[in-house]
Amino acid sequence: MSIPQQPGPTPVTSPGGSRPASGPRDVLGAAAQPPGAGAFDEHHPPPAELVGDCVHCGFCLPTCPTYVLWGEEMDSPRGRIYLMKQGLEGEPLTDSMVTHYDRCLGCMSCVTACPSGVQYDRLIEATRQQVERRHRRNPRERALRAAIFALFPYRRRLRLLRGPLRAYQATGLPRLVRRSGLLRRLAPTLATVESLAPRLGRAARPPQRVPAAGARRAVVGMLTGCVQGAFFPEVNAATARVLAAEGCEVVILPDRQGCCGALSVHNGREEEARRFARRILDTFAAAGIDYFVVNAAGCGSTLKEYGDLLRDDPRYAALAADFAGRVRDLSEVLVELGPVATRHPLPVTVAYHDACHLAHAQGVRAQPRRLLHDIPGLQLREIADPEICCGSAGIWNILHPGPAAELGDRKARTVLATGAALLVTANPGCLMQVAASVTRAGGDIALAHTAQVLDASIRGRGAEELLHQRAPS
């Protein structure tokens, strides 16, 4: 069986200088399992009926970041679906298969683009769970992933990094390290992590609850998040203030919260994700919330899928499904409730960046734009090629620093081309990735979360405070 080929962009080389492995010829590469073993076990393999929905039309190709980079069929959504089909038909889970699955950013741009309604999001998540259970990675990959998942889902461990990181930033060394280029040549993964670190200030401890200003219209829980809570506490503070100003009593319970499980879900770590999800459910089970509000796109996408994640858990399945129905992105809940707080003028030009897991995975595009349009004096400018991911994609930019930098540089060019003074988005990973890319490009633009822009308008703080939030140089 062959896949109809579509003409694509001119491929570029991978960071090591060689073309990425491609095509069905790679499927029978070095086996990652014993001879005769099939690719997938019986625990939720990628559903054959969803695999069969793909008609290989090619509409996904120009929206897929890895296909745009390399022009390789097996690094496109339909190519990966072809590999899933082979796995369902009994082919072993080879090293080459896993490489193509790993290269997927999980941005879900293809889901938006697909005219046949292929549920690629469900397919790639099911496949990655199979990979994590059934494929043994090389020692370097295992060590890197172990380090990532020993740190990023744990907010207390992340907070321990704040002191040393603030001290490092105060020395002025970051500018020297980045300009020399030595770290990127010797240790690209470490260089990527260093370049992504945002400039840190003092972090106030979140309160347990924030009362509504005026008449209470809703009781909402609020996710503090891992990276958001540790590196962008000012975004959480702004989120709580905006919700309170709009008549919401905000239940935070910061000491009891943990990771929502998004990073684990998106990387196939199913049992770990379920453990994190159960803790979130236990934390807010008796809080009496009408909505659970999220200000990080990747987290919101996973929280809305708790019903599916815990569908096999007899104790939590019903609770998870009910909770998932209450999850809202900040922009969604504000539009649903309608504004009551006065918006003061904010004379600033803004470029709005669609975070992939907000626009593609959750289908939330109009709401943040509507909120920004309603601010007097604010001018909104659109970014070219908004469907192409910035290259952050959770931990993808750490696992694949070279291609992630290419995508980030592409995004930085389109952002800077708007001529806007302020870039606004709704995801911490995007803020870090675009900031690093803008710095590499020698550009100059302020960056803020949607919540911070709304907060500045409601509090009448003006644009100056936002425009001081520059990308680290």
- What rounded mean pLDDT belongs to the chain? 89
With 90 as the cut, is the pLDDT of residue 377 above it? yes
Residue 37 pLDDT level (bands cut at 50, 70, 90) = low
Sheet architecture: strand order including 446-449: 378-381, 348-352, 422-425, 446-449
pLDDT in tens, 397-450: 999 999 999 999 999 999 999 999 999 999 999 999 999 999 889 998 999 999
Residues in the chain: 473
CATH fold for domain 209-335: Rossmann fold (3.40.50)
Does this model's pTM top 0.85? My answer is yes
- Residues sharing a CB contact under 8 Å with residue 127, sequence separation 6 or more, in sequence order: 40, 45, 46, 80, 84, 87, 101, 268
Q: What is the per-residue pLDDT for 130?
A: 97
Q: Would the CATH topology of 41-134 be identical to that of 209-335?
A: no
With 50 as the cut, is the pLDDT of residue 392 above it? yes
Q: Return the SS3 of 31.
A: strand
Q: What is the per-residue pLDDT for 225?
A: 93
How many Å separate Cα 383 from the centre of its chain? 18
Q: What distance, in Å, lies between the first and last C-alpha atoms of the chain?
A: 51
Backbone phi and psi for residue 293, each to the nearest 5 degrees, phi listed first? -100, 135
- CATH 3.40.50.2300 for domain 343-467: no
- Residues sharing a CB contact under 8 Å with residue 251, sequence separation 6 or more, in sequence order: 208, 209, 219, 220, 221, 222, 284, 287, 289
pLDDT in tens, 273-283: 999 999 999 99
Name the residue with higher pLDDT: 187 or 257: 257
**What is the CATH number that goes with domain 41-134?**
1.10.1060.10
Burial of 434 (0-12, 13-18, 19+ CB in 10 A): buried
Distance CA 406, CA 410 (A): 6
CB atoms within 10 A of CB 154: 15
| Rg of the chain in Å (alpha carbons) | 22
The domain ranges of the chain are 41-134, 151-196, 209-335, 343-467
Q: What is the per-residue pLDDT for 205?
A: 86
Burial of 255 (0-12, 13-18, 19+ CB in 10 A): exposed
**Among 89, 64, 88, 86, residue whose Cα is nearest residue 77:** 64
